[in-house]
Amino acid sequence: MFLLTSVIGDMNFGQKLRQLRIEKGLTQQQLAERLGYKTNSYISDVESGHFIPSRDKLKKIAKALDVPFKVLEDMLLESRLEALGIREPELLRLFKDIPSLPEKDKRAIINAYLKIKERRQKRKT
């Protein structure tokens, strides 16, 4: 079973991917070979944060790591949100859940945000 440790807060996507690969007991070379590469340079570059793989590559990496694609999608979203300074677990969960929420709930979140924004602007004036 997949258990990404909670120690990964404040890590970028590459670091999180490295942690996941290690938890799966794979070396960079082994993961690279599962992806059809002869060397580990691609994996090394991703884990070093040089770039983020395309969606298609992420799907292949998920399959090679034997984890659902959603796991890597969530890791990527979490990394991007953390880069914006959003680290609160509740907000991270909210952003992860938004795509699966009914339209009514999405609209309620937007309306709540707009009310908060309006209140903050009134306080400034």
Judged against a pLDDT cut of 50, whether residue 39 lies above it is answered with yes
**What pLDDT digit, counting tens, does each position of 8-31 carry?**
445 799 999 999 999 999 999 999
**What pLDDT digit, counting tens, does each position of 56-71 carry?**
999 999 999 999 999 9
Q: What percent of the chain has pLDDT over 70?
A: 92
User: Tokens representing 9?
Assistant: 């807060």
Mean pLDDT of the residues in the chain? 89
Q: How many CB atoms lie within 10 A of CB 32?
A: 19
CA distance 13 to 78: 8
pTM of the model: 0.75
Question: Would you state the pLDDT for residue 9?
Answer: 45
Residues 6+ apart with CB under 8 A from 42: 32, 35
